[in-house]
Structure 1
Amino acid sequence: MSGRRGNGESSIYFSEADGKWHGWVTVGTKPDGRPDRRHRMAATEAEVKKKVQELEKQRAAGKVRKAGRPPTIEQWMDTFLDTVCARKVEDRSMAPRTLDDYRSKNRLYIVPGVGKHRIDRLAPEHLDKLYLNLLRTGGEDGEPLASSTVLKVHRIISRALKVAMQREMITRNVATLLDAPSADETEIEPLTRAEARAVLDEAARRRNGTRWSVGAALGLRQGEALGLRWSYIDFETGMMRVHWQLQRLKWQHGCEDPHACGARLHRKACKKNCTTHKNYKRGCPKPCAKDCTEHASRCPQRKDGGLVFRTPKGKNKRIVPVPAPLLTALRVHRTTQKRERLAAGELWKEHDLVFCQENGKPIDPRHDWEELQDILDASGVVPRGTHASGRHTAGTLLTENGVGLRVVMEILGHSQPRVAQRYTHVSSPLAEDAATKMGDALWG
């Protein structure tokens, strides 16, 4: 027997029972207070000393992983989504729809690609191969995924591994050892001034027409516009607080056993939603994995779904100035709404909403979308496809009129300059004027 021994010191010895050299290193304490001693074994004394010294270096650097068998990527992602991210949703530092997106990408891409790897044995080349496959044939239909989607997958994996490293399950985040997938810049399609005015003229002839003026002038997102409240508009100062939004969230089970709850409805509901048993023509033969949530909307104790009001997070919660003509339009709209409230009588449901149904209830985002398509069609404007068109139009018009990038970010609620910089790529009168001045300077 050789090596150092004593209170907390490493020890090395030869065992005649198996003919091997053994080393023990104390790396800390276990949750129950007992010493956490790790074992190393080798055929020679030199080999076991090298292993012991390496473990001692890890101990000194604070990089010794916790005791116990590390989980697979699939197991850790379940824990990460169901506890870490779920807690963030509860404290409002993460939006529920962000968690839904994480779950979807984990089920479709991460678990099938690298789910079986043990978390401490995941290597950069495993992620390189995953991203390459997603870019080639990553979609459910075998079609290549957009580079922006692959980048989101990378960010989810990197964030999950960062938390695992913070909890000493691994000693490094391998996602940081490779270049993140590059995403193509999304081409924005704002309306021109003439098109924007044509849309607003058409909208003015409709109920809640001012809703589209707010979207175009202030660049509010759909949820922010539909969740806007009268108490957040100061007509004296001309300022508006964007402190509320309306969102449609997926229903969650409120019962203890989602599978038992959904058993009666499961076969029919699961047919189009469950990827685990998608080959069954009549749906699943029995309640399946938790990725099948279709019947959650019919759970007797369902919760946290449907149309809900939420406060925006981060810089999305902001105060913006309202143009004087829009304030006038909002005053007229408020008078019209008061007449509707009197006409509805007891049927009116008060939510203090600026834009609502004729009974005061929130406007379904789907109906809001259909209304936009009707307005675009009636105004003769080629449909741009999304509500972001109004937001892009606001950003582009602000930039064209010489508003600085930081101010555009403040008005639109952007947290990253690169997002707002998209509006500076659009040809504007300012750019054209600069080109004219350059021509005069060089060629007279």
Structure 2
Amino acid sequence: MSKTLVATPDPESGKKGPKSSSKLRDGVMKRGTTWYYVIRVKDRETGESKPKWVGGFATEDDAKAARDEARVKARRGEYVDRNVITVGEYLDEWIEAHAVEIKPKTLKDYRDIINRYVKPHIGGQKLQAVRPATITKLYRDLMAGGGKNGRKLSARTIDYVHAVLRKAFRDAVEIDQVLPSNPVERAKRPRRTPTEPGTVWNPEQLRAFLAIARRHRLFAFFHLAAYTGARRGELLNLRWSSVDLEACEITITGSVAFIDGERIEGTTKTGRSRVVSIDAGTVAVLKEHRRKQAADKLLAGKEWRGSNGHVFTTGWGDPIHPDTVSSLMPTLIKSHNAPKDGPKPVEPLPRARLHDLRHIHATTLLLAGVPVHVVAARLGHVDPSITLRVYAHVIRAAEASAAEIFAKAMGE
């Protein structure tokens, strides 16, 4: 993956090095407007000592400081050969090398982050010239105006950029061995103000939403999303073969996404399947939904296209596009808040996203005293610590009454 620095014979030393415009003094010399240093490094395979020229330093002091650091690493056997590959070139090769082991949706997200936020800013810089300050400045620049039309980026987006760069530069150190250490690990990210999940309706508001959603043919989808906390892609991937109405449970086995117009089915976010219990009311909703789907199939006849047994389909049996249910959510909220027939509700529903149904499910359970590890299992979090972090504000609210509960149990 690495590219080597092209060197020319130095007229004074006879060794491979840059053409000089000044004399070599203590391993440092100037060529044109930049400074170089040279050290001798043992080849790991042959054991032969060879000169290594490194250039591109703005001042003599910079070259000397880098020379001293390189000499120490060379004595320890930790020296990494200077390389002229740029950040953009390395990231392009890195993402291609990992394409086979990254989920398609994640791969697309990585590429978008690299092409949109990283390469325009530091893509042309030498990979080995990147320092923690380089990455810190990148984050500051993105926060100030790295979005579309120069809009500010959120700290959350910066976190995504940081996560991708940390992975890539870690591989540059550990796998490709073109860096001695990971500068991203020591970069300073913008301070984040702790934020709670999206809008969390109370049970009464959720009931109002589901009442208006009941009029739509996809009511069962919204009901199941609210009553299980499952992700959008997980529910749209659900098959009837994974629904056990007798045992009152569904098995989440995978997820679905659309990438560049193509439907892609894969594993869940964690790569694991999980069993989620459902209540009697949800069983009744699914039975009614299955009956209506059977009626759709009978009406479509030979035109029915639902051969894969998806729980949620169009009237012709095609799988539902993820954007369909996401865009339907605000439409249903608007139908409740501004009905075409009848008076407006006393309490309009606050704006909420489809994913917020997942937050409502988790929050309601936690406030009701359901153990965190149980909620984590229902949500498909690989570790309860994730649930603790995401819903820390809810857990703190529940803990506030813990002292009174204990005192009451003691009869005080």
Give the TM-score band, short-chain normalised.
0.7 to 0.9
Separation in 2 of the partners of 1:154 and 1:54?
A: 30
After TM superposition, list the pairs within 5 Å mapping 1:9-48 onto structure 2.
24-29=40-45, 37-40=49-52
2:100 is matched with: 87
Q: Does 1:371 align with 2:328?
A: yes
Query: SS where residue 148 of structure 2 aligns?
Result: coil
Please give the secondary structure, in 2, of the residue aligned with 1:136. helix
Q: Determine whether 1:69 maps to 2:83.
A: yes
Aligned to 2:359: 392
Q: Secondary structure at the match of 2:101?
A: helix
> Does 2:67 align with 1:78?
no
Question: How far has the Cα of 1:229 moved from its partner?
Answer: 0.8
1:308 to 256, 264, 267: 264
1:142, CA displacement in angstroms? 2.4
Corresponding position of 2:227: 217
Deviation string 1:67-110 (CA, Å, 9 cap, x unpaired) is x73311111111112222x1223xxxxx3222222222222221
The answer as to 2:165 corresponding to 1:160 is no
Verify the 8 A CA contact 1:151 1:183 in the aligned structure 2: no
Post-superposition shift, 1:124? 1.3
Equivalent in the alignment of 2:342: none
Using CA pairs under 8 Å that are at least 6 residues apart, name the structure with larger relative contact order, 1 or 2.
Answer: 1
Question: Partner of 2:51: helix, strand, or coil?
Answer: strand
Does the Cα contact within 8 Å between 1:247 and 1:309 map onto a contact in 2? yes
Q: Look up the match of 2:196.
A: 187
Q: Which runs of 5+ in 1 are unaligned?
A: 1-13, 43-48, 90-94, 251-304
Asked if the contact 2:330–2:351 (Cα under 8 Å) also holds between the matched residues in 1, the reply is: no
Residues 1:367 and 1:178: Cα distance change in structure 2 (over 3 Å): closer
Q: Distance in 2 between matches of 1:113 and 1:437?
A: 55
Contact 1:399 1:424 in 2 (8 A): no
Question: Which range moved further: 317-326 or 396-405?
Answer: 317-326
Q: Percent same amino acid at aligned positions? A: 25
Between the aligned partners of 1:382 and 1:247, the Cα distance in structure 2 is 28
Q: In the alignment, which residue of structure 2 is the partner of 1:340?
A: 296
Offset, 1:141:
2.2
Q: Distance in 1 between matches of 2:181 and 2:258?
A: 38
Given the two structures, how large is their TM-score scaled by the length of structure 2? 0.76
Distance 1:351 1:118 in 2: 50
Instruction: Tell me whether 1:408 sits opposite 2:369 in the alignment.
Output: no
Distance 1:16 1:107, change over 3 A: closer
Provide the rounded CA distance (Å) in 2 between the counterparts of 1:242 and 1:201: 26
Q: Greater CA deviation, 239-248 or 430-439?
A: 430-439
Structure 2 letter corresponding to 1:98: T
Q: CA deviation at 1:428?
A: 9.8
**CA distance in 2 between partners of 1:237 and 1:163 (Å):** 46
Task: Flag the 1:325–1:145 CA change in 2: closer, same or farther, 3 A.
Answer: same
How many correspondences in the alignment?
Answer: 356
**Maintained 8 Å contact 2:155/2:190:** yes
- The letter of the residue matching 2:183 is V
Q: Are residues 1:111 and 2:119 paired?
A: yes
Deviation string 1:3-52 (CA, Å, 9 cap, x unpaired) is: xxxxxxxxxxx9699999997543323xxxx667531589xxxxxx9899
Following superposition, the deviation at residue 425 of structure 1 comes to 1.8
User: Aligned runs of 1:433-444 on 2, under 5 Å?
Assistant: 434=402
Shift of 1:195: 0.9
- In the other structure, the counterpart of 1:4 is none
Partner amino acid, structure 1, of 2:301 = G
> Does 2:188 match 1:175?
no
| 1:151–1:171 distance in 2 versus 1, CA, 3 Å | same
Deviation at 1:160, TM superposition (A): 0.9
Using structure 1 for the length normalisation, give the TM-score.
0.71
Distance 1:120 1:19 in 2: 24
Give the RMSD, CA atoms, in angstroms: 3.4
Q: Residue type of the partner of 1:64? A: Y
Structure 1: which amino acid aligns with 2:373?
R
Q: Conserved in 2, the CA contact under 8 Å of 1:233 and 1:239?
A: yes
| Contact 1:154–1:181 (Cα < 8 Å) also in 2 | no
The one-letter code of the counterpart of 2:114 is: N
Once residues 119 and 238 of structure 1 are traced to their aligned partners in structure 2, the CA distance between those partners, rounded to angstroms, is 55
- Structure 2 residue matching 1:248: 3-state secondary structure: strand
Asked if 2 retains the 8 angstrom alpha-carbon contact of 1:373 and 1:383, the reply is: no
Unaligned runs of 5+ in 2: 1-11, 16-22, 28-37, 55-66, 338-347
Change (3 A) 1:52 1:136: closer
Q: Distance in 2 between matches of 1:355 and 1:314?
A: 23
Confirm whether residue 425 of structure 1 aligns to residue 373 of structure 2: no
Q: Which one is further off, 425-434 or 320-329? A: 425-434
Letter in 2 for 1:99: L
- In structure 2, the residue matched to 1:54 is 72
Contact map agreement 1:25 1:52 (CA 8 A) in 2:
no
Counterpart amino acid of 1:80? W
Structure 1 pair 133/19, CA: closer, same or farther in 2 (3 Å)? closer
* Residues 27/138 of structure 1: CA separation in 2 closer, same or farther (3 Å cut): same
